[in-house]
Structure 1
């Protein structure tokens, strides 16, 4: 049976002098609400000749150290202050405690073993560092951990980044910058902005955080698979959704999300649709809505939710579901976002994973396939085991322009049902 062997582990610190040093960074409600969740885990698969792998590890360590000069928060730690009233405050200490770098080898695993199977192989979870750690462990654990796993004919570069420090846009901003430095750039093309301009009183005093009970029990059995939707398929879904809803407002992403939402619930409860609620959650970006400066580094997303009955969802068609999503997204105005942050400051709450909602995460707009570290573009992108729940959909851009790859995480019986569902199969490309 194939396995992963850890060769070495070390701490990578900022080597040079940062041109714009920061020592402390206050955290926003967007950041703090993620404390109990898992970090962001994304990785890239590359084909590399064995000769290239010999010097690859030292090169990646060196380029990571240089990249951290531009991203000092990722080399720091979370810091906490306990108050006499039983509350606790958190901030980001940019103390250059360092990021973790793990070198591993999967001696019996090839690139095709990861990229070709229809189902995501279980060994992939061991390609990611810092599994099963909540974000609040960042007070003692590195906020960034990288694992480079050598394969028979390639390499997998996985990053685990504390979600209190970054969202998807900031995560890929860092990875994009690292790939630039790795392939010889003297500086990065987009400078991160750490200033917090949103006017909400802080620091925030939070209730004591308690361990999520689900972390103490055996995780549910889930299966994962990547489904590819071509540009042509997305255009057809968009046209169908707009036609059914008699509008032109529905985007390709909203149409695809509606298709996924309907498909999951159609296959979850084949025999009893009448009384089941079918919640849907999508992460909506706040950068353009506030607006925030280009390069804003941190979290700037909020979860938007809508719910209909499963019977209504399935029987009314894709246009009805897509309009529900469209209306939900339209409600995420600047005023609504600011009010959400102000309300959170008065009554802090935390996000938890689980439940049966269909949750759309990540974005097909992230620059994934532009990450050339010096030996060519990646062959595929995959996410790690963190934050996985029944109904989570992770969206990535496809390798070809205009397409979207959806990493689907579902209970085994639901995934098997979707794989045999004629309406779903018609809309994706194998």
Structure 2
């Protein structure tokens, strides 16, 4: 039963860049093959939970915070201007989807309240379902960005805290781009707290890592790609997840170091990374919890950032999608008969082999026969999908309230076997894993000695 209070929306408005987008290159943002493949996936939904200052450092703390968040968001979308746009599809005979950065109401900003405490959010064993209400665009797919804002921010005031949640269209950004935007927003917020930019003028505040909006296309392709469809019903599907428990498991820096040492020792190597070792542990233990037949194929997919693997490399500031699901595969029997190191080495080889050639081959095949990821078909019911990354700087975004207490996500892109990785709050190589499993499988995982003894 859902017995907790409900989130109440107080107000909403739209935020646009404070200066006109005069340059013609800024009116239209074309989408690459890796962007267009995301049209049927959900928006990215991630956010940060903060503790209110105690006592509040200002009698009108929340009003001041909201005003500064709106102002800094307006200045942020000046840099990340596609986020204030909308998707547009050209009429037949060609069928192309792109971003109109000009003819749009802008990004959305929602103020909401909830009569719960930060402890009510952080400390239950499972992530409370009310967290899904901290995000706008619940269950929206990216194609809905024709009518919905491509960025929607919801600020939810709790009794003793504040949650800042963003829903960002996944056709425009991957996790690297998402957290780059969040970082720039926090940076601009911090600049506004000083006196330098508080004279009321809307200026373009410089940021340390300006986004690069030129989309990557293979030679001879783009920028406008014709899709082989006549109507979006041919490539859009609405995925509904089964009933899932979501639980966050915390791995200390020490426990991660032990896993890495064990995996490398068992494989007689020094090449296996901390995250590959952790992924192998999760893959093995979830597979064991599922009690699969020994000949059942099972996979471990990792969302790999292509930027540094391209030749020439794409800059980290590249704003768009540049990710690929790297896959290690075996049978359930083989995975569980061998140790952690064997599984970790399989993952390591898959990651090490992911290079410019593989990305280009994927894009070339996609251009020959464009397809859109269908979440229901993309999900391997016997596999594990490792999303997000503990490398993303999530806790560096402070918004005048100090370091966040935790990172949480919405309903989006979750299914049986989805694992979302966050850095641990204390840093130093610690990792939080948000694991989504049906209730009976989560109970089995919680009883798995190898898994629970590795925390």
TM-score (norm 1): 0.94
Match of 1:223 among 220, 225, 245: 245
Structure 1 residues 394 and 219, CA gap change in structure 2 (3 angstroms): closer
Residues 183 and 374 in structure 1, CA contact (< 8 A), matched pair in contact too: yes
1:26-425 matches, within 5 Å, as 26-49=30-53, 51=59, 52-84=61-93, 88-95=95-102, 97=104, 98-106=106-114, 108-184=115-191, 186-200=205-219, 201-202=221-222, 203-208=224-229, 209-210=232-233, 215=238, 219-269=241-291, 272-290=292-310, 291-353=313-375, 354-356=379-381, 357-401=383-427, 402-425=429-452
In 2, distance between residues paired with 1:320 and 1:231? 22
Residues 149 and 156 in structure 1, CA contact (< 8 A), matched pair in contact too: yes
SS of the residue aligned with 2:96?
Answer: strand
| Deviation of 1:57 (Å) | 1.5
> Which segment is superposed worse, 287-296 or 44-53?
44-53
* Greater than 4 Å deviation, 4+ residue runs: 17-21, 211-214
In 2, distance between residues paired with 1:375 and 1:244? 45
In 2, distance between residues paired with 1:341 and 1:212? 18
In 2, distance between residues paired with 1:256 and 1:352? 27
In 1, distance between residues paired with 2:258 and 2:446? 20
> Which segment is superposed worse, 32-41 or 273-282?
273-282
| Deviation of 1:211 (Å) | 6.9
| Deviation of 1:197 (Å) | 4.3
In 2, distance between residues paired with 1:19 and 1:248? 53
Residues 39 and 236 in structure 2, CA contact (< 8 A), matched pair in contact too: no
In 2, distance between residues paired with 1:219 and 1:282? 20
Task: Note the residue ranges of structure 1 that are not aligned, 5 or more in a row.
Answer: none
Task: Note the residue ranges of structure 2 that are not aligned, 5 or more in a row.
Answer: 193-204
| Deviation of 1:293 (Å) | 2.4
| Deviation of 1:193 (Å) | 0.6
TM-score (norm 2): 0.89
Give per-residue Cα distances to partners, 1:306-346, cap 9 Å, x unaligned: 32111111111111111111111122111111111111111
Q: Does 1:7 align with 2:10?
A: yes
